[in-house]
Amino acid sequence: MNQDINIKTLQKNCFRQSKVPGVFLLQMRVPGGYVSAEMLEIVKHISETWGDGNFHFGTRQTFDVCGIKYQDVPAVNEYLEKYIKSVEEDVCGVDMDLIAGEKVGWNPKAGYPTIGARNITACIGNYHCVCGNVNTFELARKIEGIIFPSHYHIKINISGCPNDCNKAHLCDFGIIGVAEMEYHPDRCIGCGLCARTCEKGSTRVLTLNEETGKIEKDTCCCVGCGECARVCPASAWTRKEEKYYRVIIGGRTGRQTPRTGKMFLNWASEDVVLSVLKNWQNFSAWVMNYKPEYLHGGHLIDRAGYKKFKEIMLEGVKLNPECLVAEDIYWHETEYRSNFNVKPLSLHHTAGPQDKK
Amino acid sequence: MSYRLTQNEADAVFAELLKKFDIYAPHRHVCAGRYSDDDIVKYDKVESLSDVEYKKKSDYPMKEVISPIQQALFYFTEDEYRESKVSSRPILIFARPCDINAQKIQARIYAGNGGFTDSYYERMKDRVKYILMDCEGGDDNCFCVSMHTNKTDNYSLAVKFHEDGSLFVKVKDQDFDNYFQEIKEIEFEPEFVNKNELKVTVPVIKDHETLNKLKAHPMWNEFNSRCISCGACTIACSTCTCFTTKDIIYGDNPEVGERRRIESSCQVDGYTTVAGGISYRKTAGEKMRFKMLHKFHDYKERFVDSDMCVGCGRCTARCPQFISITTTLDKMSKAIEEIEKGEV
Amino acid sequence: MENIVQPKPYKISEVRHETDLEYTFRFDTDIKVNHGQFLMLSIPKIGEVPISVSDQGDGWLEFTIRKVGKVTNVIFEKVAGDVMFLRGPYGNGWPMDKFQGKHLIVIAGGTGVSPVRSTLNFCARNEGFVKDVSLICGFKGCNCILFKSDLEKWQNNFKHTWLCLDNEDKEGFCRGFVTNYIKELPLNEYEDNYEIIVVGPPVMMKYVGLELIKNGFSEEKIWMSFERKMSCGVGKCGHCRIDEYYVCTDGPVFPYKIAKNLVD
């Protein structure tokens, strides 16, 4: 097959190169991993008309349709219009004409405008799960328009509770729903079930004081899972109505330096999480000297250094009083090759505007 | 006499009542449920009619007003145990027939059982008058009709709430007549539920031999893996009365402090543990058997005129493991049939 | 209205160490008690526990208390002259009118000797109240022997006495469980004119009951005392209930024909 194909252009259009020349895989965004089941009809039509008749759940909760031929891409993009409009514009309120906040103008017949900001994944959260503390996909939908469309890479995973089934610890910007708990000693029968549950499945912060028959709590180490409220037979533990979040940054997999993310914010309100994320485009632009390149968010933090990251990300953010911010972060990476970071100065990456030099 | 009150009139009467009474009612606590974003409805002291959750059955029973989960009995020093004081203000409680009837059952234990009457129960009970709340049949866990607890005449006022904020009130207790002067009279009688979706038949255990065979029946083993013995069913129960006594020490001196009564549950570990460590029902199945037989046999055997259940269904609703008391009762009936046929 | 759970202060007049773990406290009090009844004793840091009267006399009551766990230790620091709080007596006690003039058989094990000690001492002090006493009394081992001076007195005063230790040998004691000696009770000698007291741990009482029936004793003549957790002692807290019975107000003494059917 003799075809001249710009695979970079197709990649930005959310078509991924396959082993077979001229055959691509379409990635359809599903913010928060949650859409109306009627969307499956669209997936079905694309797959059966232009694809191989199947679909794969992308590892970032996208609908991935394999086997799309290069010449069919325009037809697929045209058909995608109703899916993108429904999911991105109607459900998430995304302004498709903006790219990283800049007015660019979107051609609705031309498919996805960017691939940089990856699909936001989420567990089912408190919409269904007995452990969930927050509505994860509603948060994803609020974030979608802040990070997408954009050529700047960011992977966001949302978990409804500190059990972190959705691996907020393994992405650039992980968000975990945490519950601030209230104890009502007048309703406590001193059965100690919360303390046993906390010991068995959480951070062992509760103890039954045998002399008072009441629970004592090491508030500092509470992860906000809410298991105490889930097991209490008398509602002596309840969640506060306000929702709080833990933000984990810099987690990643990869060939070079995979690592678990570290805590950036704890007990942040939703407003704080959203306004921090609004600074992401600025931060990315600053690190890469205003020229987007294919580089994941965690690496941007490495290049800028945590303190610069913190400075830019918190710009103009009004922290809620409960919110705690990491003063510093001590990364722990898997170094497949020892002294990976020690190399000639000329090979070091730069960060920030370079025009002064 | 019955009246129709506009929202303003109702608020005005409520404000007048508040001058004399402490008023308790089911109250909605937003997002305070077992699971995130679920609400909980429990009895609280209320300050206005809008505080009253009149649609949803409360998750926790009305008994909490009269015999709270925790109360101080005495304050003690090295020399004396001084009885705790309680306000003498009269109390009005918004309640449905199941909760009002449950007090008859509680009273048989607190007042009179074994020849003793508990003064802490009496001093609360004596202050209480009821405002009967309209009940339109409850939810799918209710079975008050089967337990004959769907009706009551133990109330001073009966109310029916309307969406527009207006209220129908029947004044049964003459002491309340003067609150309703100048308000338009209407015909209104409270209606009682006469049918639930759920019907149960309490089985008859005809003799001690059958009882002991039922205790040994394998039906209870199911609960060893299903029930987590958390006690949520008994805390939610309208009729359960069990408590423990706990002395709380102030500071370092072990002989100065407070003696508290704290609600307890036959489902929770330690309920039967005596000094020396012997305990009597160790498995979840045994504990469930003890509870079920108390509710539907032992209580009636002692007090004759009713079972220890008003069919409010809160135990089923609160069980985190979806153990239904009515299904369990049906299983008990089936086991008794097997026993009587000589199959087990 | 009278507060039925109001504790009152009483002075300790004597503390005796029965074993390392069990102390007997004598209180100055005019409280009148039937043999086999119990009182609620306030223990600092704990709350209240039911304690059976282990002996009584004019103006005094004795209780024998076992040290369990760290928290009860406060009570073991009490000395003569200190004050503790009591309320009661509660429960029915032994049916002494039924025992009068008959052969009395007492089978007791371990701490179960406490609730029957006042009855035994009463019989020892009042010769002729019962025809005679046959006592089978067992303890786990040498360290657990309670009421040593009483045991000696009972051995001298009572017609038949078997003192046993479960697994240890000691002079004056037989070896083995109390159930082993039931067959040695001289049933014929009692001429159907007897009553039996059984008190001890639940398992012991169960097997003693079965062994007595096996050996021809009549179930109508057997009486058992139950020990259950109690928070109130007055039929309210629910902990001691078995079937339709409340051990606190309907017991702690039950006739065997009820006791044998009580399944916790």
SS (H, E, C) A42-78: HHHHHHHHCCCCCCEECCCCCEEEEEEEHHHHHHHHH
What's the mean pLDDT when you consider all of chain A? Answer: 95
Whether the predicted pLDDT of C255 surpasses 70? yes
- Percent of chain A's residues with pLDDT above 90: 87
Whether the predicted pLDDT of C238 surpasses 60? yes
CA distance A151 to chain B (A): 36
Cα–Cα distance for residue pair A69/B246, rounded to 1 Å: 76
pLDDT of residue C69: 56
Q: Please report, for residues A188, A191, B147, B220, B296, the alpha-carbon distance to residue B336 in angstroms, rounded to integers and kept in the order given.
A: 37, 33, 20, 13, 13
Structure token digits, residue A321 = 């009083």
pLDDT of residue A341: 85
- Percent of chain B's residues with pLDDT above 70: 100
What's the mean pLDDT when you consider all of chain C? Answer: 92
Q: Where are the domains of chain A?
A: 7-110, 139-157+244-347, 181-239
Query: Residues of A with CB below 8 A from B31's CB?
Result: 238-241
CA A217 to chain centre: 31
Specify burial of residue A260 (Cβ count, 10 A radius: 0-12, 13-18, 19+).
middle
pLDDT of residue C71: 53
CA distance A208 to chain C (A): 15
CATH top class, domain A181-239: alpha beta
Length of chain C as a residue count: 264
Q: Which of B44-58, B135-149, B269-283, C206-220 has the lowest mean pLDDT?
A: B269-283
Cα–Cα distance for residue pair A157/A139, rounded to 1 Å: 11
- Whether the upstream peptide bond of residue C89 has omega within 30° of 0, thus cis, is yes
Give the pLDDT band of residue B309 (cuts 50, 70, 90): very high
Structure token digits, residue A52 = 């191989």
Query: Residues of B with CB below 8 A from A185's CB?
Result: 70
Q: CA nearest B240 in C: which residue? A: C238
Q: Which chains touch C (3 or more CB pairs under 8 A)?
A: A, B
- Mean per-residue pLDDT, C38-53: 88
Give the pLDDT band of residue B49 (cuts 50, 70, 90): very high
Give bridge partners of residue B179 from the DSSP assignment: none
Which of the four CATH numbers 3.40.50.2000, 3.40.1280.10, 2.40.30.10, 1.10.530.10 does domain C8-90 have? 2.40.30.10
Give the pLDDT band of residue A293 (cuts 50, 70, 90): confident
Using the 8-state DSSP alphabet, how is residue A85 labeled?
I
A124 touches chain B (CB under 8 A): no
Please, are residues A182 and A240 in contact by the beta-carbon 8 Å criterion?
A: yes
Domain A7-110 = CATH 3.90.480.20: yes
pLDDT of residue C72: 63
**For residue A136, what is the enclosing H or E element?**
helix A136-147
A102 Cβ partners below 8 Å, 6+ apart? none
* Per-residue pLDDT reduced to its tens digit, C110-156: 889 999 999 999 999 998 999 999 999 999 999 899 999 999 999 99
CA distance C96 to chain B (A): 21
Q: Which of B28, B30, B36 to mutate to test the interface with A (most CBs of A within 10 A)?
A: B36
Inter-chain CB pairs, B–C, below 8 Å: 128
Please, are residues B109 and C232 in contact by the beta-carbon 8 Å criterion?
A: no
Structure token digits, residue A220 = 């500092």
Query: Residues of C with CB below 8 A from A210's CB?
Result: 71
Print the domain residue range for B41. Answer: 2-65+86-186
Whether the predicted pLDDT of A119 surpasses 60? yes
Structure token digits, residue B181 = 């002067």
* Per-residue pLDDT reduced to its tens digit, A120-174: 999 999 999 999 999 999 999 999 999 999 999 999 999 999 999 999 999 999 9
C248 → closest Cβ in B114, B280, B290: B114
Cα–Cα distance for residue pair C163/C67, rounded to 1 Å: 24
Give the pLDDT band of residue A35 (cuts 50, 70, 90): very high
- Whether the upstream peptide bond of residue A149 has omega within 30° of 0, thus cis, is yes
Cα–Cα distance for residue pair C234/C3, rounded to 1 Å: 11
Whether the predicted pLDDT of B177 surpasses 70? yes
Q: Please report, for residues A30, A307, C120, the alpha-carbon distance to residue A72 in angstroms, rounded to integers and kept in the order given.
A: 22, 47, 103
pLDDT of residue A59: 96
- Mean per-residue pLDDT, A21-26: 96
Which of the four CATH numbers 3.40.50.80, 3.10.20.90, 3.40.50.170, 2.40.50.140 does domain C96-259 have? 3.40.50.80
SS3 content of chain A, % helix, strand, coil (to 5): 35, 20, 50
Q: Which phi and psi angles does A138 have, rounded to 5°? A: -65, -40
pLDDT higher at C75 or C13 = C13
- Mean per-residue pLDDT, A91-97: 97
Find the DSSP H helices in chain A. 7-12, 39-49, 73-84, 136-147, 193-201, 227-231, 270-277, 280-287, 297-304, 306-313
Q: Where are the domains of chain C?
A: 8-90, 96-259
* Per-residue pLDDT reduced to its tens digit, B210-221: 999 999 999 999
Strand order in the sheet with A56-57: A15-17, A23-28, A63-69, A56-57
B30 touches chain A (CB under 8 A): yes
Cα–Cα distance for residue pair C219/C216, rounded to 1 Å: 9
Q: How many helices (H) and strands (E) does chain C have?
A: 8, 15
Please, are residues C133 and C158 in contact by the beta-carbon 8 Å criterion?
A: yes
Give the pLDDT band of residue B136 (cuts 50, 70, 90): confident
What is the tally of structural domains in chain B?
Answer: 1
* Per-residue pLDDT reduced to its tens digit, A210-227: 888 999 999 999 999 999
Expressed in angstroms, the distance from the first to the final Cα of chain A is 47
Structure token digits, residue C226 = 């139950």
Please, are residues C222 and C232 in contact by the beta-carbon 8 Å criterion?
A: no
CA distance C21 to chain B (A): 11
* Per-residue pLDDT reduced to its tens digit, A62-91: 999 999 999 999 999 999 999 999 999 999
Length of chain B as a residue count: 344
